[in-house]
Amino acid sequence: MSSHTYLYGKNPLKEALLAQRREARQIIDVLYITKRELDNPDTMSLLQTYNQPYTLSTIHEIESMVGKDTVHQGICATLIPDTLYTSLEKILGKKSASPRLLVVLDELEDPHNVGAIIRSAVSFGASAILMPTHGQVALTGSVIKSASGMNFSIPIIKIGNVNTTLEKLKKDSFWIYGLTGTGETNLHTTKFDTDTVIVIGNEGRGLQKMTEELCDFRLSIPISKRAESLNASNAVAITLYEWYKQNKY
């Protein structure tokens, strides 16, 4: 299995190029473009605007890297691994006059859920997303595609253990909110007026028992009785929007 992290598709490419210019560092290692895509004036304009070198490739060669059923749009890039993640210490070192918001993923397995959560986190002003290294889908090409490249607009942090990290954040004055359908704290009556961590659990199992016990609040979202529960990414989006209304409007 390849050790590369691939980017594919036009929107993720544009976001990576924007991030390279914004952060003044190289994120793309090698960019592969098909001849057909090079004939696309929009694509060529993008590459010229950001002075991005590329390697001419075939659809077959790109599919050998990212898979035959992948929607790559004739664009594929290998990414420099160290540019995809940042450290928790760097984020905690940035103090803010307004409350900070972190999103912790607790062993999510669906790349589309993770991608959607990244997009919501960027949309609603989160400071970073924390992802454990075990039991959790990594920042793969599929996640990046689902996120439309929004991962380049928010710090992504690898953590070794969710519970150890939550304990550290509690010591740094963060309040921990665990999303669970049976939580006794109603989202609609919650006041987010301090540094906040939102924790979302596995799509099927939910939060791990010890993780749930570490949360200061077990947060629930009232929904119609006609539905049993919300999709993980939808639940996070609703929660982040509530935080955003209180802190960013």
How many angstroms separate the CA atoms of 55 and 73, rounded? 15
pLDDT at 1: 40
CA distances from 180 to 102, 162, 184, 186, 205 (A): 17, 16, 9, 10, 10
How many angstroms separate the CA atoms of 53 and 190, rounded? 49
Q: Could you say which of 81, 107, 125 is where a domain stops?
A: 81
How many angstroms separate the CA atoms of 229 and 180, rounded? 9
Helices (H), 34-110: 35-38, 41-49, 59-66, 88-92
Range of the domain at 37: 6-81
How many angstroms separate the CA atoms of 210 and 53, rounded? 48
Number of domain units in the chain: 2
Claim to verify: residue 96 and residue 71 sit in the same structural domain: no
Claim to verify: residue 50 and residue 153 sit in the same structural domain: no
Claim to verify: residue 74 and residue 92 sit in the same structural domain: no
CB-based contacts of 5, cutoff 8 Å, min separation 6: 78, 79, 81, 84, 139, 140, 141, 144
How many angstroms separate the CA atoms of 88 and 81, rounded? 17
pLDDT at 99: 92
Q: Could you say which of 81, 109, 135 is where a domain stops?
A: 81
pLDDT at 3: 66
CB-based contacts of 110, cutoff 8 Å, min separation 6: 137, 203, 232
Q: Which of 214, 9, 201, 210 is nearest to 117 (CA)?
A: 201
How many angstroms separate the CA atoms of 125 and 148, rounded? 17
Claim to verify: residue 110 and residue 22 sit in the same structural domain: no
Residue 243: which H helix or E strand, with range?
A: helix 232-247
Claim to verify: residue 210 and residue 102 sit in the same structural domain: yes
Instruction: With 0.85 as the threshold, say if the pTM is over it.
Output: yes
Provide the residue-wise pLDDT of the chain in tens; the chain has 249 residues. Answer: 456 899 999 999 999 999 999 999 999 999 999 999 999 999 999 999 999 999 999 999 999 999 999 999 999 999 999 999 999 999 998 878 889 999 999 999 999 999 999 999 999 999 999 999 999 999 999 999 999 999 999 999 999 999 999 999 999 999 999 999 888 999 999 999 999 999 999 998 999 999 999 999 999 999 888 888 889 999 999 999 999 999 986
Claim to verify: residue 68 and residue 94 sit in the same structural domain: no
Instruction: Say if 178 falls within a structural domain.
Output: yes
Instruction: Say if 1 falls within a structural domain.
Output: no
How many angstroms separate the CA atoms of 114 and 135, rounded? 13
CATH code for the domain in which residue 13 is found: 3.30.1330.30
Strand 75-79 and strand 101-106: the pairing is: unpaired
